Chain A
Amino acid sequence: MSADKIPADSISHLSGYEPPDQSDWETGLHPMDSLLRGERLPHIWCQGCGLGTALTTFISALQWLEKNKEWDLEKVAVVSGIGCSGRVAGYIRLDSFHTTHGRAIPFATGLKIANPNLKVVVFSGDGDIAGIGGNHFIHAARRNLDITVICVNNFNYGMTGGQVGSTTPHGARAVTAQYGNFEYPFNLPYLAAAGGASFMARWTVLHARRLEWTLREAMEHRGFSFVEIIAPCSTAYARWNPEGKGLDPEKLRRRGLEVIKHYKEIGKISPETHPKDADVKVDENGVIIEIVEGKFIDDPKPDLQEAIDQMAPIAEKKWKAAKRAIDNRPKVKGRTDKVPRKELQLGGFGGQGIISAGKIIGQAAAIYDKLEACFTQSYGPEARGGAAGSQVVISSDLIHYPNITEPESAIIMSQGAYEKYAPLITEKGILLIDDGLVVLPENHRQDIVTYGIPATKAAEEMGNIRAANTVMLGFWTSIVGAVSKEAMKLSLADSVPPKTVDVNIKAFDYGYDRGTELKKTKAIPIPTPTEKTGTTHSGDKKSSINEP
C-alpha cells in the first residue's frame, strides 16, 4: 500500500492548475459548457451544497484528461443511482445513466464488461454507494473491476429530507435521529480497502484542487478506484448539527460555508494514515473533530478484464476439442421398428454413476437409435453422496408425460435404492441388481423378474471399479433390449473420459454377454425364502434369475 504524499505547502502542487481558456471570456461560454447539459440547468442542488464543487472538479479532471492524456470523452459513461448526487448523471453531457437506488455499480459492471473500451465512472452518494448499494460496492472492489466510483458523502439522506444513514457519525443528529445517531457509521476508506480496492482517496470539497488531481489519477488508474468526497449538506445535515451553526437565523443562508470553514479546521491531510484509522472522528456530541484526507491506497494489480482475457485461449482450446468430438460422432440410421413407451428407473448411491448411466441410455435412444427419450434425475441432498436416482422414458412417439409412473425395468445398485424403487416396478417388470451390493430380503417381490450380476466386483477385476455402472448398462441392454447394443456403445464412447473408453466397452460387453447367457440358460433361480435367504446365488455363474 503506497501513499502518495502531496506536500501541503509546496508550490509544486499548484502545477496542475490551468486557468480557463481566454476565448471563453470572449464568447461568454462557461469553460465547462461542453460537458454540461445546459438545458437541464438550473440544477436542483441547494445553496451551499457541496455537489457543485464535486461536479466541477470531476468535469475539470475530465477536461484535463482529454487535453493532456488524449482521452476521448465520447468513450466515457457516467452512471448514477438515486439521490442528490445521483443527479450528476443528468447534468453531465456524456453518455449517462440514472439508474435505481444503489444499483449504479452493478449497472456500470455490465456496461464496462460488455464494452471494455469504455471508461465508466459511477457518481453517487453515500446512501446509494454505502447504504442500499453497499454489497455491490464491496464486490466491485473485490473484483478489481476497472471503474471509478465517486461517492459524495454528506453523512445523511439529503434528497428525502435528512434521514440518518450508514455514514452518519455516532451521536450526530438527523431528522430521524433527533436524540443523536445511536448507530455507528462505516469508515469508507477501510471498507474499500477490505473489499480490495486498488485505489482509494478522500477529500473534502474544501480541497477542490487536490480533489481534481485525485480524480484524474483515479480515472487513469486501471482497476477499481474509489474517491470519497466529503461535502456539506447545507439544508439537512447542517441544520441539525453544530457544524452548520444549527438554526442560527443569522447564518441560515450560509450553512454550507460554515461547514466548509469547519472542514478547514478539522481536515487533516494525512495520506500515510492506515485506512483503518481513517474514520471520521467525532466528539461525545457527534460533532466532527477530525477528517483525514489524502490518497490512502494506490496499489496496482491485475484488473478483472485482464483475468477475463487470460481465460479466453484456454476456453477456446477446450471448445475445439469438444467440437472435434462432436464432429467425429458417427452418422447412424437409427431404429425403424416401433418402440412403445418404456420406463426405466436407476438407483444407487452417489458416485456410482447412476446419473451418467441414465443419461447414456437416454442419449443412445435419442441420438443413435433416433427414438424419443426423456431423462430426469433426483436433485438435492439425496443426489449428494446419499441415494442417487435417475429415470429414463423411451418411446417411438413423442413423450407427453416426462416422469415415470410404473417402470418396466430398474437398475439397482444399492440396498437403499432397492428399498425405495423395487416396490414401484410394474408387475412382470424386470429388476436388475448388482448382487454384490443388494441383498434380496425374504419378502422380495415374486411378481417381478429379478436378474443379478456382481457388476462392481467385475468392474474392479477389470481394473476400473467406476465401470460398474457400465456393466449394468450392458446387462440391461441385453435383457431389456429397449435400446440397441450399437447405439449404447456409441453413446458410451461419447460419454466417458477418452482414456477409459476401452475399459468401459469391455465392461459393457461383459455385462451384455452375461445378460444374454442368463436369458438363454435362465440360470439359477433366486432361492425362495423357505430355502435360503440373502445373496447366496453368486456361485460360479455370479448371476441369478428369479421368474414368477
Chain B
Amino acid sequence: MKEQKGLLTGDHFMLGDYAAAEGALLAGCRFFAGYPITPATEIAERMSTRMPQIGGVYIQMEDEIASMNAILGGSWSGVKSMTATSGPGFSLMMENLGLGIMLETPCVVINVQRGGPSTGLPTLVGQQDMMQAKWGSHGDYEIIALCPGSPQEFFDLTIRAFNLAEKYRTPVLVMADAEVGHMTEKVVIPDPEEIEIISRPMVRKGDVEPDHFRIYRDMTHCKGGVRVSPMAKAGDGFRFHVTGLTHDERGYPDMSAKGNEWNMERLISKIRDNKDDIIWVEEKDLDDAEVVVVSYGISARTALWPIELARKEGIRVGLLRLITVWPFSEEKIRRLAKSVKAFVVPEINMGQIVREVERCAAGEAAVFGVHRPGGEVLDPAEVLNTIRKAAGHPVQTEDAVIANQEIQE
C-alpha cells in the first residue's frame, strides 16, 4: 500500500455511497474508473474528489464497458482498482467482468442496485440483479458477491471485497442497493492500523527468472492456504502474456477441451474450496428457531422489525443474513432444513435467492418467498404475515397499522 496520507478516520454522518468510497481508499484502492449512473454516481463523485488528495487517480470513462476494462488494466499495473455502477451499467460490465475472471484480475465492482429491467427505476431500490451477479457473464465461473445493509456495512464490505479480490485474484462484487447507497448514517472509520488489509500474492523482480515465471502457476500440488498463483505486474520485466482465451500456465492460448478443463478447475475451485473463508453470515436466534428468515442487504435489515414482532407473538423465528451471497451458503441451509419448519426469504425481486434456498432446502423444509418489484423496501407487515404463515399461525389483516403501533411502544 502507498503512503497513508489523505485517509479519513473517526465518526462521520455519511452517505452510503461515500462510505463505500472511503472503504475502498482505506483498502488501498488508488484507481477508480467509472461512468455516472444513479444511484451509484455519488461513489464516483466522492472518488473524483478524494483520489487526487490521496495520490490516486479517478477517471470518468466513456461507458461502463470501458470502465470495467480500465480497472482491469489498472490492476495489472499493480494498483488496486475499482468501479461502481447500477443495473444498466452492470449489464455493460458483464463482458469484461468475464475477462477479469479469466485473467484472474483482482478488482472490485460495486452495483448499487435499482429497479429494472432496462432503465427501470433509476432512483429507487431493487435487488433484481442478484442472479445476474452470479451468472451475468457468459461461460462457467464462480463469483464472490457481498451484500451490505447500511452505510457502515457498505464501508466494511468494500474493504472486505478488496481483501477477497486480492487474496483470490478475482473480481469481487459488492451488491448494494439504492436504499443503502442513498442513506446517510453514522459511519465509524477506524485507524488504518486496525484494519486487516490483504494484498495480492506477487512475484517481484529477482524472485524468479522471467523464463521460468508462470503467470498462471498450477498450484494444485502446492502446500498451504488458498493456492492462488502469484501475480506479476506490467513493467517488472517478466514479459508475461495473458489472454481471455483458454490458456495454459504461461498464459498462452491452449484451445483444447483439456485446456478449458484446466482453466475451469482453477477458476471454480479457488472459490468453492475456500467457501469457509469467503462466506460470512450473521446468525440471529437460530438455536431454537422453527422459522428462519434468509435474507440479505436492505431486505435483511428491514426484516429485523417483523422478526422482533413475530418473536413477541411467540413465534420462534431466527435470521440467517447472507453477508456473502455468492458463493451461496449451501451447507448452512441444508443443515438448517433438517431442523426447521420453514424458511422465509424476503427480497426486492420476484424470486431469485428464494430459488437457491429452495434448492438447498430440497423439500425438507417449506420455503416462503416475500417478493415485490423494485421501488420500495418490503412492507414489514407482509414479512410478518409470511413469518406467521410459515409458522402455521393465523395471518392478520391491517398489519401495517398494528405493526406501527407495536413498534411505537
Contacts and interface: CB of A to CB of B under 8 A. Distances in A.
Contact of A110 (B72, B123, B305): B72
Contact of A115 (B55, B61, B78, B98): B78
Given A106-B61, A110-B77, A373-B13, A89 B241 contact: yes
Contact of B69 (A39, A94, A103, A399): A103
Contacts of A95: 234-236, 238-241
A357 to B, nearest CB: 13
B288 interface: no
A359 B184 contact: yes
Contact of A114 (B8, B81, B122): B81
A315 B52 contact: yes
A75 B77 CA distance: 11
Contacts of A105: 66
A113 B31 CA distance: 8
Interface string B204-247: 00000000000000000000000000000111111111111100
A341 B407 contact: yes
Contacts of A94: 239
A187 interface: no
Contact of A135 (B62, B77, B404): B62
Interface string B68-91: 111111111111010000000000
B236 A380 contact: no
B70 A110 contact: yes
B239 A326 contact: no
A458 interface: no
Interface string B39-58: 10000000001001111010
Contacts of B54: 319
B26 interface: no
Contacts of B301: 400, 402
B183 A376 contact: yes
Contact of A107 (B70, B236, B304, B377): B70
A211 to B, nearest CB: 24
Nearest to A104: B69
Contacts of A250: none
Interface residues of B, number: 77
A98 B52 contact: no
Contact of A401 (B73, B185, B237, B380): B380
B408 A362 contact: no
A391 B299 CA distance: 19
A475 to B, nearest CB: 21
Contacts of A135: 62-63, 66
Contacts of B404: 405-406
B184 A375 contact: yes
Given A114-B74, A135-B63, A340-B408, A99 B184 contact: no
Contacts of A108: 73
A114 B184 CA distance: 31
A100 B244 contact: yes
Interface in A352-377: 359, 362-363, 366-367, 372-377
A362 B184 CA distance: 8
B33 interface: yes
A37 interface: yes
Contact of B77 (A40, A74, A114): A114
Nearest to A89: B241
A106 B243 contact: no
A75 B72 CA distance: 18
Nearest to B232: A95
Interface residues of A, number: 66
Contacts of B52: 308, 311-312, 314-316
B40 to A, nearest CB: 12
A145 to B, nearest CB: 9
A98 B70 contact: no
A96 interface: yes
B73 A114 contact: yes
B13 A106 contact: no
B282 interface: no
Contacts of B76: 97, 110-111
Residue among B31, B78, B240, B244 having the largest count of chain A Cβ atoms under 10 Å: B244
B311 interface: no
A99 B239 contact: no
A98 B244 contact: yes
Contacts of B183: 374-376, 402
A478 to B, nearest CB: 22
A318 interface: yes
B163 interface: no
A375 B16 CA distance: 10
A262 interface: no
B95 A326 contact: no
B29 to A, nearest CB: 11
Contact of B408 (A109, A329, A341): A341
B193 interface: no
B190 interface: no
B304 A111 contact: no
B96 interface: yes
Nearest to A405: B404
A40 B54 CA distance: 42
Given A341-B408, A367-B11, A375-B184, A113 B59 contact: yes
A387 B149 CA distance: 28
Nearest to B57: A113
A525 B256 CA distance: 86
A45 to B, nearest CB: 15
**Shortest Cβ-Cβ A-B pairs, 4 listed:** A110-B73, A315-B52, A110-B70, A106-B66
Interface of B: 6, 8, 10-13, 30-31, 33, 38-39, 49, 52-55, 57, 59, 61-63, 65-79, 81, 95-96, 98-99, 103, 122-123, 179, 182-186, 233-245, 252-253, 298, 301-302, 304-305, 308, 377, 380, 400, 404, 407-408
Given A75-B235, A109-B69, A375-B13, 12 more contacts: A90-B243, A90-B253, A96-B239, A100-B99, A106-B33, A107-B70, A110-B71, A110-B76, A115-B77, A379-B123, A380-B123, A402-B302
Interface of A: 37, 39-40, 74-75, 77, 79, 89-90, 93-100, 103, 105-115, 117-118, 135-136, 139, 308, 311-312, 314-316, 318-319, 326, 329, 340-341, 359, 362-363, 366-367, 372-377, 379-380, 399-403, 405-406
12 contacts: A74-B237, A93-B239, A103-B66, A110-B72, A110-B77, A112-B73, A115-B234, A117-B235, A136-B66, A315-B53, A380-B38, A402-B298
